[in-house]
Every structure is written in structure tokens, then in C-alpha cells.
Amino acid sequence: MKGIMFNLLEEVISSQHDEETWDTVLAAAGADGAYTSLGSYPDDEFMRLVDIAAQMLDRTAYDTLRWLGRRGLPLLAERYPGFFQPHASAEAFVLTVNGIIHPEVRKLLPRAGVPEFGYEPGSNGDLRLGYRSPRKLCALAEGFIEGAADLYGEHVDLHQSTCMHRGDERCVLELRFHR
Ligand code: HEM
């Protein structure tokens, strides 16, 4: 996992709670917290930090990842405005993640392990987003999508009709955006 994701976790915990909370999470995980955005660190270490933060904040790991995604996306928008500016809606933005944004991310951050998304039309105009990744971070994907809706002044109704955590071969996120 790239250091930028650890940086995002630090920034979200420190701004929504405080820096002491982040320091306590690091100490409990036995981590030194020196993550550079370009560096690569073990996925296990990221999950350990998420699990410890979840316990400290009295929420599930799923909720913590979703919260990280929702609060973290505006920080990515500050850092990489060029991925957001061309789009007038959250859906238009989300449609570029697999073909444009993540491929660009892999050029900017060598060895970035990004997921694979597939797009299909769902029922009643919904967008169906297929998600596959050995890291099984569909909760983070949900949060990023909610963060994108916030950023474009929209709402999103979101549910997962299949999920790798329930034994399915991939996750499917059913999305409906509205203003
Ligand atoms: C709604 C939009 C987005 C979604 C749903 C999304 C989803 C995800 C997910 C779920 C991961 C975790 C890795 C995995 O699942 O295997 C990830 C990783 C990542 N994404 Fe995205 N992403 C979005 C937008 C962006 C944007 C705008 C950036 C801008 C730079 C970005 C940069 C990254 C980076 C750097 C990683 C980490 C790669 C690594 O640690 O090796 N993503 N993304």
C-alpha cells in the first residue's frame, strides 16, 4: 500500500479527532508513522492501523474504511485537482477511475496496487460498479464514492449486491446519484 493512503488515514484521524489519537493508534500498532507518499508499506500494517483506529473510535473496520474514503476524497481532490475539474457530476468522475485515474496513479506512484473496476448499466438507470482486488477494500471504495457525491453537491444511494467478504467472486456496488 502506498504511503499516500497512510497519510490520508493520519490526516483524517487528526482532523476529525486529534493528533494524539493518531499517535496512540501508531503506538498500539508498533509503527513509527514515517510514511512518505511515494513509499510502499505492507498492506497488513495498513489494516492493523485501521483495526486499531476502529476499536479506539468504537466503530467497525468497515465503517472506519468508509469514513476514511468519504473524508479522504476531498484531500485527494486538493492534491490532484486535474482528476476532478473536467467533470460536472460525481458519476462522470467515477466513470474515469478505472480507465484514467488509477492508470495515471500507477505512473505517478510506481508499484501502486490499485483495484480493478468494471462498469455496467444497472436497473432503472443505476450504475453497477464491479470491484475486484486482493485487498478487498470495497468499504474504502464506497467511502470514496460518497466523498465524490459530497464534492459535486450530490447524494448517492449505494448498496453492494455481491461482496467478496460474503464469499462472492467480486463485489458489485449498485449506485444511484441524485442532486
Ligand atoms: C471514486 C473514486 C475512487 C475510487 C472508488 C477508488 C478506489 C480505490 C480503492 C478501493 C483503493 C484501495 C486499493 C484496492 O482496493 O486494491 C484505491 C487505491 C488507491 N487509489 Fe483510488 N479510488 C478513487 C479515486 C482515486 C483518486 C481521485 C486518486 C487520486 C490520486 C486515487 C488514488 C489511489 C491511490 C494512490 C491508491 C493506493 C494504491 C496503493 O496503495 O498501492 N484514487 N482506490
> Does the pLDDT of residue 123 top 90, yes or no?
no
Q: Which of 114, 164, 175 most suits a substitution to test ligand 1, by most atoms within 8 Å of the C-beta?
A: 114
**106 and 40 inside one domain:** no
Span from the CA of 102 to the centroid of ligand 1 (angstroms): 7
- Within a domain: residue 67? no
For residue 145, the domain's CATH number is 3.90.1520.10
Q: What is the 3-state secondary structure (H, E, C) of 123-138?
A: HHHCEEEEEECCCCCH
- Looking at ligand 1, which residue's alpha carbon is closest to its atom 36? 114
Which of 128, 178, 119, 173 has its CA nearest to residue 154?
Answer: 178
What tens digit of pLDDT does each residue of 73-106 get? 999 999 999 999 999 999 999 999 999 999 999 9
Is the pTM higher than 0.85?
Answer: yes
Task: Say if CB 4 and CB 37 are below 8 A apart.
Answer: yes
What tens digit of pLDDT does each residue of 9-24 get? 999 999 999 999 999 9
Which of 121, 164, 123 has its CA nearest to residue 141?
Answer: 164
Closest atom of ligand 1 relative to the 1 alpha carbon: 40
Q: What angle do CA 171, 175, 177 make, to 5 degrees?
A: 160
What tens digit of pLDDT does each residue of 28-53 get? 999 999 999 999 999 999 999 999 99
- Domain extent, residue 44, equals 3-58
